[in-house]
Amino acid sequence: MFRAFFLKHKLVIVYGCALALLLLVATAAVAQTKARFTAKPVWADEFNYKGMPDTSHWSYDTGGHGWGNNELQYYRDSGNAWVNGSELVITAQPDSYKGMSYTSARLVSKGRGDFLYGRFEARAKLPAGLGTWPAIWMLPTDWRYGNWPRSGEIDIMEHVGYDPEKVHISVHTQAYNHIAGTQKTAFRQVPGAMDGYHVYRVDWTPELIEGYIDNQLLFSFRNEHKSPDEWPFDQRFHWLLNVAVGGNWGGKNGVNPQAFPASLLIDYVRVYGWEK
């Protein structure tokens, strides 16, 4: 009888300790999701001017070599991106240019806005049409761990026209990427994504990357503390804003030439600093 009493209470103690440990882990996880960021942006473009995008914030990636995805556009540094007084307009359009059938623009903040941790937010209206592939995303500035995917990629918003209103948030690393079929990703139907503006956001800290659409949590990727193959996100990254045409994903179901010109409209991009 004494032995049974002892074993019973020993089990209670063990279960109690396990429960306490689970509560501690859960509390730490909740605390992490409530990371603090500056009240005001530390870097932003509100696009409240007219003309070419602000050169103190943006430059361009240019070229027409498929960009690793068999894309059909040639990215130019003029003619496809402008600010109309209230928003940035990036337009992919039919255009025979240097051997390609479409032109578009790919804006980058590299050297003008490079960040280690923070809250990254853009308010945007997406283009519609079969073959469109808009993206708001980030790449490493210094490529500390080598070429893609070793140094990582953060996709704040991706959308392909053949799957309307399904918006994706993802990260890619050496261990987790779409080539290997191991990428970390999440998606959500966003009604009216091509008819109105929605807010796309990533919160990035040393422990966690979280993705939100209209302030609703969609995606979480936690630092496993193994190696840079899993978490290369301890280096500076910069913005990329673009509209691709076709490609392995965007053109999976073909491209409708009648869908172009097609424009990604961005009301603002903002970066809030991470407060340790």
3-state per-residue secondary structure call for 68-107: CCCECEEECCCCCEEEECCCEEEEEEEEEECCEEEEECEE
- 71, 87, 158, 230: which is the annotated catalytic residue? 158
CA–CA separation, 232 vs 209, rounded Å? 12
- 71, 87, 153, 210: which is the annotated catalytic residue? 153
Residue 86 neighbours by CB under 8 Å, 6+ apart: 47, 48, 267
CA–CA separation, 217 vs 215, rounded Å? 6
Which residue, among 169, 141, 146, has the nearest Cα to 156 in the 3D structure? 169
Query: Has 71 been annotated as catalytic?
Result: no
Pairing, β 73-75 against β 100-104: parallel
Query: Has 207 been annotated as catalytic?
Result: no
Residue whose tokens read 């409240």: 48
CA–CA separation, 177 vs 243, rounded Å? 21
Residues with a known catalytic role: 153, 158
